[in-house]
Amino acid sequence: MSRRLSDLEKRIIEILETAGDEGLLQRELWNILGIDSRSGMRVVARLERRGFLTRKRVYHKGKATYLLRLSKKAGEEIEIPQILTVLPCFSCPYIDRCDEGGSPDPRNCIELDKWLRNMKIQHGGVNSE
Ligand code: SF4
């Protein structure tokens, strides 16, 4: 199961998006983010494993480092399955603050509950097929 991107991961993707095809040296990224290489490398390795960026070993000023570039996956548009386009959350004014344990809480949402019940009646369950 894929998990959401952290704020730091999103920030790295934004920075690499701005860097474009030229890419960015790993150490320049640490400087922009104000983080040390140890924590930075963990996040970058995770993004690489998930296919969001590529790392190429290069030499800069005589030292080995990595050139980071955003992969195509990061720029791909996400296709929303048709069945989800009528999900009430997409047009909900509270979506930015809706969270488990918050207010509103999706677990107590009447609109979402209504939509789920309707989907169950129409499709015998909710899936993207
Ligand atoms: S769960 Fe309910 S309150 Fe939350 S975003 Fe969806 S429709 Fe809005």
Instruction: Determine the average pLDDT of the residues in 50-62.
Output: 92
CA-based angle 100:93:117, to the nearest 5?
Answer: 60
Higher pLDDT, 122 or 103: 103
Q: In what order do the strands lie in the sheet with 63-70?
A: 24-25, 63-70, 53-60
Task: Give the single-character DSSP code of 94.
Answer: T
Return the pLDDT at 75.
65
Predicted confidence (pLDDT) at residue 8 exceeds the cutoff of 80: yes
What domains sit in the chain, N to C, each tagged with a CATH number? Answer: 7-75 (1.10.10.10), 82-123 (no CATH)
Predicted confidence (pLDDT) at residue 4 exceeds the cutoff of 90: no
Q: Does the Cβ of 116 fall within 6 Å of ligand 1?
A: no
Best of 86, 94, 108, 115 for a ligand 1 pocket test (most atoms within 8 Å of beta carbon): 94
Instruction: Determine the average pLDDT of the residues in 12-41.
Output: 92
Q: Does the Cβ of 109 fall within 6 Å of ligand 1?
A: yes
Q: How many whole angstroms from 47 Cα to the centroid of ligand 1?
A: 30
Return the pLDDT at 127.
53
Sign of CA dihedral 106, 107, 108, 109: positive
Residue 2's pLDDT band (boundaries 50, 70, 90)? low
Q: How many whole angstroms from 80 Cα to the centroid of ligand 1?
A: 17
Predicted confidence (pLDDT) at residue 58 exceeds the cutoff of 50: yes
Residue 125's pLDDT band (boundaries 50, 70, 90)? low
Residue 129's pLDDT band (boundaries 50, 70, 90)? very low
Name, in order, each residue with C-beta under 8 angstroms of 125's C-beta and a sequence gap of 6 or more: 119
Q: How many whole angstroms from 104 Cα to the centroid of ligand 1?
A: 7
